[in-house]
């Protein structure tokens, strides 16, 4: 009987967010409608990935689904997608108070070999009711009101924060609902995994080189760290969030700003890491304090367990 009572108390992502939003008396369910359209996009991509859609098609399909779902939600004004050179300005009759930046398909080079890929998104609110401009999305990550990712792997899991901690929801295909499975995720303060593409080692700067050296040949007699690198940011960050450790995409001589994009890769993951008790650093400053000048600009990123990121911050500080 007890088990049945538990089974019937379905904490879907919609119900969870409605609970969260009830703390904001002025909210009239706009965020819940926005989120339900992001969830729709994730369910579409999840089913397309499981049908084995090939990469090229999936990159375009997923972008189209998210743009259409977000525009038709009537809750957005500006959209930025990794797949669209220019921002999308929603026509006035359909405008809402949110701006969404997203990577519809992250890790797309991994699609054709079946390795986990994902969708990453961040949400800003419009601070004025005039015509929307590009300035409404060229804001520091510390002004984001929510962020999350969906990982399409052995199971489909959506990890979300609306500023009150990080929560994981697993898609139950029989219900077509994301059910809360990982409430209040906290990243361990220290981990024993480092995650970086060592193939770029010859181009790294001093502090990154020193830090990775320490991971492999610890001076203080502690055990060497394990290297885990999937090559999909969503998969590497999800493992870091649950197991602890550090994920690095450093600058290198060829790409002085690294590879990952500020608005829809660095900011959402940095937001989640801080909400889970970890941190995110660019080599110069707190990642969320970056102020992007262009919608597709890049930044180096070091994120994960609080103590592990402190170590690389000390190495960059010594370099100043
Ligand atoms: P995307 O597929 O959206 O272009 O992102 C790919 C990114 C990110 O997912 C991953 O962390 C990184 O590329 C891997 O880059 P390298 O192959 O250079 O390591
Ligand atoms: Mn990406
Ligand atoms: Mn992408
Ligand atoms: Mn890409």
Cα of 295 vs centre of ligand 4, distance in Å, is 14
More confident: 152 or 18:
152
Give the chain's count of helices (H) and strands (E).
8, 13
Cα of 258 vs centre of ligand 4, distance in Å, is 14
Ligand 1 site, residue 232, Cβ cutoff 6 A: yes
Distances (CA, A) of 167 to 21, 186, 276, 282: 15, 9, 9, 25
The bound ligand whose nearest atom lies closest to the alpha carbon of 107 is: 1
Contact 97, 77 (CB under 8 A): yes
Ligand 1 site, residue 305, Cβ cutoff 6 A: no
Tens-place pLDDT, residues 176-207: 999 999 999 999 999 999 999 999 999 999 99
Tens-place pLDDT, residues 254-268: 899 999 999 999 999
**Cβ–Cβ contacts within 10 Å for residue 192, how many?**
16
Q: Which of 195, 163, 118, 169 is nearest to 271 (CA)?
A: 163
Ligand 1 site, residue 233, Cβ cutoff 6 A: yes
CA distance 157 to 151: 5
The bound ligand whose nearest atom lies closest to the alpha carbon of 232 is: 1
Q: What is the pLDDT of residue 5?
A: 67
Ligand 1 site, residue 258, Cβ cutoff 6 A: no
CA distance 51 to 39: 18
Residue 1 in this model has a pLDDT that exceeds 70: no
């Amino acid at each position: 009987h007890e088990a049945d009572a538990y089974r019937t108390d379905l904490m879907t992502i919609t119900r969870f967010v409605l609970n969260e939003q009830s703390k904001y008396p002025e909210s009239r369910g706009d965020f819940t409608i926005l989120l339900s359209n992001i969830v729709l996009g994730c369910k579409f991509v999840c089913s397309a990935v499981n049908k084995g859609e090939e990469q090229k098609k999936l990159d375009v399909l997923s972008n189209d689904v998210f743009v259409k779902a977000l525009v038709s939600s009537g809750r957005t004004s500006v959209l930025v997608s990794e797949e669209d050179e220019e921002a999308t300005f929603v026509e006035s009759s359909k405008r809402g108070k949110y701006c969404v930046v997203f990577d519809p398909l992250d890790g797309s080079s991994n699609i054709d070999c079946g390795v986990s890929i994902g969708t990453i998104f961040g949400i800003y609110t419009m601070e004025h009711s005039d015509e929307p401009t590009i300035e409404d999305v060229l804001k520091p990550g510390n002004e984001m009101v929510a962020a999350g990712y969906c990982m399409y792997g052995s199971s489909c899991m959506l990890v979300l924060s609306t500023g009150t901690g990080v929560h994981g929801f697993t898609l139950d295909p029989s219900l077509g609902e994301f059910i809360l499975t990982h409430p209040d995720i906290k990243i361990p303060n220290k981990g024993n995994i480092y995650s970086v593409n060592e193939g770029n080692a010859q181009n790294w700067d001093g502090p990154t080189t020193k830090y990775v050296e320490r991971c492999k040949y610890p001076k203080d007699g502690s055990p060497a760290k394990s290297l885990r690198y999937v090559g999909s940011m969503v998969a590497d960050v999800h493992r870091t969030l649950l197991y602890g450790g550090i994920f690095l995409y450093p600058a290198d001589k060829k790409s002085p700003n690294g590879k990952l994009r500020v608005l829809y890769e660095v900011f959402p993951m940095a937001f989640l890491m801080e909400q889970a008790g970890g941190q995110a650093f660019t080599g110069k400053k707190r990642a969320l304090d970056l102020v992007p000048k262009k919608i597709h600009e890049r930044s180096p990123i070091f994120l994960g367990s609080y103590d592990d990121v402190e170590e690389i911050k000390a190495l960059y500080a010594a370099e100043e």
